[in-house]
């Protein structure tokens, strides 16, 4: 349905600029948040958006802006907007678009582009932007006239949230931004409805319930698709009612609280390797789940695959049954089957006993590592002290190699959509953008809610200047930089100095090493936040406590750990091949 909203956009003598048409079209589609870096030709679009009440957050790098906008889509179910300038500005945002598409998160990118009259002439920052974005998005278009902008933006928003969510791109020629058109010629399209709720075939649901009843060693895997679908209540009820063990994927953490008695995350390897029936709720059989293939799984394991995307069903393995539909709705369908004919997996079974024994063994190893008193600290010591003080409702953002992998096993999540990390694409550099978006949403929903961003020192370097953005908007973020002087591992100061006595760093320094003893906390204090440099558990506890108590300023805690610290021995790593 179209409507004329001239009263919102009228300029002098009934004229309206392209910038205001774009802003009003976004507002009409329910867009609330915009992130970006302004410049020629998009500055006026940001100003027009602010005039209409759209929250604009100016970032320091387009990649970080795009990462932030994509998180808005995941947390709210409606896309955030990333606004970028032409050419290099748009190219910088492609990383965020690719990440959003791989994570299946709604996102709208609006890019300025060269003027129509200068096409093919070598215009300022001229680039085939629409064509380039097709590789990274579900929808990519350039309006031919200003009058079609509202319908294109509606289609972009709708495409971003319907089916499998993803990124969409709208290209805006520079001359459109200031061009004036008759206000009566603009027809705004009514806000697109929420995605239709699809349900699985009844016969497939009955078959899935039958297969689950016959399982000897069942397992439920909860993915971030289940978190996005707001399926937490139904999945928790299914797990509890049927007494099933469950395992969350990294961003599936919190759909059911990590401290739930049915969680077998501490026995992840054993659970995957030995299960005979696995129910996948919005989790893909990609590299994170080892493609569903032996030796990570039994050769004859039966998968029950629940997904919104038909093309995902049957990837890498042939499922015993596929349930195509909205994950929340399909979960309710499964619950109906077990309500009609109640069934519970016996908690005294050998399977439960095996899992609990493995969990107890792994947890003991982790606690032993955490209790080591030697300095510098190791990862486990750091994370156990951090976990002791984390608010239960905080957002946990994490990126890095060992920092993220070990952190996800120790740092607990109790609420859905409160864990954000490198995700399906394994993207480094997402942390601060994710944290900024989470903090903006938290401020709107629950003032006082904190965002804890746990970064490796290498990961922090990708977008560290966004600390200025955090301080400029005074966001409730605590940054923890777990500093081992390198990528995966580094060198201590003495070894570094000795190594460089007679050789140049470009030939002597191992590629994974960073400058030892870097004071990242001074980046925060440079912009008016609080910075802490810690080397002992006592200093870590004190600085984190002070950071949590002080709600007036963001803070950064630079935590020095053993440069050679690594994870504990695992049956296998997340990646198919071992890391260094």
pLDDT at 13: 66
How far CA 247 is from CA of 195, 236, 350, 384, 545, in Å, comes to: 28, 12, 18, 21, 31
Q: What is the pLDDT of residues 18-37, one digit of tens each?
A: 999 999 999 999 999 999 99
pLDDT at 6: 42
Please, which residues bridge with residue 281 across strands? Answer: 222, 306
pLDDT at 7: 43
Please state the rounded mean pLDDT for residues 162-184. Answer: 96
The percentage of residues in the chain with a pLDDT greater than 90, rounded to a whole number, is 89
pLDDT at 578 over 50: no
Average pLDDT score, the chain: 94
Please state the rounded mean pLDDT for residues 437-458. Answer: 95
pLDDT at 539: 98
User: Reduced to 3 states, what is the DSSP secondary structure of residue 128?
Assistant: coil
Q: How far is CA 543 from the centre of its chain?
A: 27
* Residue 39 region by backbone torsions, left for phi larger than 0, else alpha for psi between -120 and 50, else beta: left
pLDDT at 574 over 70: no
Please state the rounded mean pLDDT for residues 259-281. Answer: 98
Query: Could you tell me the end-to-end alpha-carbon distance of the chain, in angstroms, rounded to an integer?
Result: 57
pLDDT at 569 over 60: no
Q: How far is CA 304 from the centre of its chain?
A: 25
Range ranked top by mean pLDDT from 296-310, 486-500, 556-570: 296-310
pLDDT at 68 over 90: yes
Write the secondary structure of 72-106 as one string of H (helix), E (strand) and C (coil).
HHHHHCCCEEEEECCCHHHHHHHHHHHHHHHHCCC
pLDDT at 568: 53
**Worst-scoring range by mean pLDDT, 259-268, 344-353, 505-514, 570-579?**
570-579
pLDDT at 2: 53
pLDDT at 5 over 80: no
pLDDT at 447: 85
pLDDT-derived band of residue 357, with 50, 70 and 90 as boundaries?
A: very high
Q: What is the pLDDT of residues 35-67, one digit of tens each?
A: 999 999 999 999 999 999 999 999 999 999 999
pLDDT at 505: 87
pLDDT at 524 over 50: yes
pLDDT-derived band of residue 113, with 50, 70 and 90 as boundaries?
A: very high
pLDDT-derived band of residue 3, with 50, 70 and 90 as boundaries?
A: low
pLDDT-derived band of residue 570, with 50, 70 and 90 as boundaries?
A: very low
Please, which residues bridge with residue 110 across strands? Answer: 83, 170
Residue pair 161/195 in contact by the 8 Å Cβ criterion: yes
Residue pair 404/422 in contact by the 8 Å Cβ criterion: yes
pLDDT at 292: 97
pLDDT at 576: 46
**Worst-scoring range by mean pLDDT, 113-127, 321-335, 487-501, 543-557?**
113-127
Please, which residues bridge with residue 277 across strands? Answer: 218, 302
pLDDT at 194: 94
pLDDT at 122: 84
How many residues make up the chain in this entry?
580
**500 closest CA partner among 508, 511, 492:** 508
pLDDT-derived band of residue 567, with 50, 70 and 90 as boundaries?
A: low
pLDDT-derived band of residue 446, with 50, 70 and 90 as boundaries?
A: confident
pLDDT at 580: 42
pLDDT at 140: 98
pLDDT-derived band of residue 124, with 50, 70 and 90 as boundaries?
A: confident
């Amino acid at each position: 349905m179209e409507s004329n909203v001239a009263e919102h956009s009228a300029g002098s003598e009934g004229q309206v600029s392209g910038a205001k048409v774009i802003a009003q079209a976004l507002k009409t589609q329910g867009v609330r948040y915009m992130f970006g870096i302004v410049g020629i030709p998009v500055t006026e679009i940001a100003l027009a958006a602010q005039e209409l009440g759209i929250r604009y957050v100016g970032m320091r790098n387009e990649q970080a802006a795009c990462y932030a906008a994509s998180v808005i889509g995941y947390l709210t179910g409606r896309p955030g907007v990333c606004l970028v300038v032409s050419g290099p500005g748009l190219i910088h945002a492609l990383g965020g678009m690719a990440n959003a598409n791989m994570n299946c998160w709604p996102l709208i990118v609006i890019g300025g582009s060269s003027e129509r009259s200068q096409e093919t002439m070598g215009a300022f920052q001229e680039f085939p932007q629409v064509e380039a974005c097709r590789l990274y998005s579900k929808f990519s278009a350039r309006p031919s006239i200003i009058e079609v902008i509202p319908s294109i933006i509606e289609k972009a928003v709708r495409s971003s949230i319907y089916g499998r969510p993803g990124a969409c791109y709208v290209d805006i020629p520079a001359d459109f931004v200031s061009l004036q058109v008759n206000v009566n010629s603009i027809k705004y399209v009514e806000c697109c409805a929420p995605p239709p709720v699809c349900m699985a075939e009844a016969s497939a649901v009955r078959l899935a319930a039958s297969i689950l009843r016959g399982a000897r060693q069942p397992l439920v895997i909860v993915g971030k698709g289940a978190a996005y679908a707001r399926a937490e209540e139904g999945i928790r009820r299914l797990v509890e009612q049927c007494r099933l063990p469950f395992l969350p994927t990294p961003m599936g953490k919190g759909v059911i609280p990590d401290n739930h008695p049915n969680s077998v995350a501490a026995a992840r390897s054993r659970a995957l390797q030995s299960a005979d029936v696995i129910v996948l709720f919005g989790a893909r059989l990609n590299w994170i789940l080892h493609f569903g293939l032996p030796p990570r799984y039994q050769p004859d394991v039966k998968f029950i695959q629940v997904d919104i995307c038909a093309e995902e069903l049957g990837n890498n393995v042939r499922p015993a049954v596929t349930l195509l539909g909205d994950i929340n709705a399909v979960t309710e369908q499964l619950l109906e089957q077990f309500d009609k004919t109640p069934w519970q997996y016996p908690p005294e079974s050998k399977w439960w006993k095996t899992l609990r024994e493995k969990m107890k063994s792994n947890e003991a190893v982790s606690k032993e590592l955490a209790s080591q008193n030697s300095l510098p600290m190791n990862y486990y010591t750091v994370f156990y002290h951090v976990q002791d003080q984390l608010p239960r409702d905080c957002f946990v953002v994490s990126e890095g190699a060992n920092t993220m992998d070990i952190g996800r096993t120790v740092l607990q999540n109790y609420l859905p959509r409160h864990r954000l990390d490198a995700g399906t694409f394994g993207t480094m550099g997402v942390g601060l953008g994710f944290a900024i978006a989470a903090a903006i949403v938290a401020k709107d929903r629950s003032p006082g809610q904190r965002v804890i961003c746990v970064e490796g020192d290498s990961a922090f370097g990708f977008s560290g200047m966004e600390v200025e953005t955090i301080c400029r908007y005074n966001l409730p973020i605590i940054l923890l930089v777990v500093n081992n002087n390198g990528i995966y591992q580094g060198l201590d100061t003495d070894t570094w100095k000795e190594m460089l006595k007679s050789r140049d760093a470009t030939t002597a320094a191992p590629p994974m090493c960073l400058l030892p003893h870097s004071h990242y906390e001074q980046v925060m204090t440079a912009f008016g936040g609080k910075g802490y440099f810690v080397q002992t558990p006592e200093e870590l506890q004190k600085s984190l406590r002070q950071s949590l108590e002080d709600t007036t300023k963001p803070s950064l805690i630079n935590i020095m750990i053993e440069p050679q610290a690594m994870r504990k021995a695992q049956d296998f790593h997340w990646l198919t091949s071992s890391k260094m």
